[in-house]
Amino acid sequence: MSSLRTLVFFATPAHDCSYLPDREATTMFVDPRANIDKKLYSQLTSLGFRRSGSHYYRPHCEACNACIPVRLNVNDFLPDRSQRRVMKKNNDLECILVPATFSESYYQLYANYVELRHKDGDMYPPSREQFTSFLIEGTTNSLFLEMRKNGELVALAAVDTLDDGLSAIYTVFDPALEHRSLGTFAVLWQIEETRRRDLPHLYLGYWIEQCQKMNYKTRFKPTEALQDGQWRSLDVS
């Protein structure tokens, strides 16, 4: 079994940044041959790494530190008025956690979401192979949160289990139901699930202050950010 001491890391060549225009990015990856169990994955996450399929990575840009890992202290979280409205709006949904496996209904929801919401992103055009490599491969501690209305799948969130919490990987939903704020609802549900498991943290990935699409992450307070190797409170108005 691999450990932090024995891990080997690789850095990609500089490439165009996916989030900030006119910037180049470099990504550090854990050697894909490493055997990563839940304990090691939890340690990597606390050090700012994320998982995409079977790859564990974090930004490693020479002249930029805009990508900041953030997490939420779930026991101190109190929903604001807007978040309470989202919970009330979606109290008619059936939400269950299931093993992270492939199904055609999952893929069709994912493909529709990418087609209509992310044509300018790295995931376009969607494919079954891409869905599998992104959300199914490497999922030894992973679950899918199904959100259904009258039995119909309306949203799906990929969730990883860690020693100290949950990690919100990705959420897709029916774009026709945008008024429900299902992305926000998925995070709120995961906050409650983290509490039910008596764990302290929900990891929300990277936050970039200049990237408007990521603003939602700091609306869940109290937010902590990993800066200079330490998790500290992040005060964002």
Q: What is the pLDDT of residues 69-86, one digit of tens each?
A: 999 999 999 999 999 999
Q: How many CB atoms lie within 10 A of CB 151?
A: 6
pLDDT score recorded for residue 98: 97
Instruction: Say which DSSP state 175 is in.
Output: G
Mean pLDDT across the stretch 207-218?
A: 91
Residues 6 or more apart from 183 whose CB is under 8 A from it? 171, 173, 216
**What average pLDDT does the segment 65-72 reach?**
96
Give the pLDDT of residue 122. 74
Q: What is the mean pLDDT of residues 179-187?
A: 97
- pLDDT of residue 237 exceeding 80, the answer is no
Report whether 115 contacts 124 (CB < 8 A).
Answer: yes
Find the mean pLDDT for residues 215-225.
Answer: 93
- List own/partner pairs for 6-9 with CB under 8 A and 24 or more apart: 6/34, 7/31, 7/34, 7/40, 8/34
* pLDDT mean over 10-38: 93
Mean pLDDT, the chain, as a whole number? 94
Predicted confidence (pLDDT) per residue in 189-205, tens digit: 999 999 999 999 999 99
Confidence band of 120 (pLDDT split at 50, 70, 90): low
CA–chain centroid gap for 66, Å, is 17
Pairing of strands 201-207, 165-173: parallel
Query: What's the whole-number mean pLDDT along residues 201-227?
Result: 94
The span from the first CA to the last CA of the chain, in angstroms, equals 43
What is the DSSP-derived secondary structure letter of residue 210? Answer: T
Q: What percent of the chain has pLDDT over 70?
A: 98
The rounded Cα 41 to chain-centroid distance in angstroms is 14
What DSSP state is assigned to residue 13? P
What confidence score (pLDDT) does residue 118 get? 75
Q: At residue 139, does pLDDT exceed 90? A: no
Contact 160, 51 (CB under 8 A): yes
Q: Is pLDDT of 15 > 70? A: yes
What proportion of the chain, given as a percentage, has pLDDT over 90? 87
**In this structure, how many other beta carbons lie within 10 angstroms of the beta carbon of residue 137?**
14
Tokens of 78: 């109190």
Segment 2-16 mean pLDDT: 93
Name the pLDDT band for 212 (thresholds 50, 70, 90).
confident
Domains and CATH numbers, the chain: 70-205 (3.40.630.30)
Residues with Cβ within 8 Å of residue 161, at least 6 apart in sequence: 38, 141, 142, 143, 167
Q: What is the mean pLDDT of residues 200-219?
A: 93
> In the chain, helix, strand, coil percent, each to 5?
30, 30, 40
Average pLDDT over residues 165-185: 97
- pLDDT value of residue 88: 98
CB 200 within 8 A of CB 236: no
C-alpha closest to that of 172 among 224, 223, 121 = 121
- Strands 9-11 and 165-173, how do they pair? unpaired
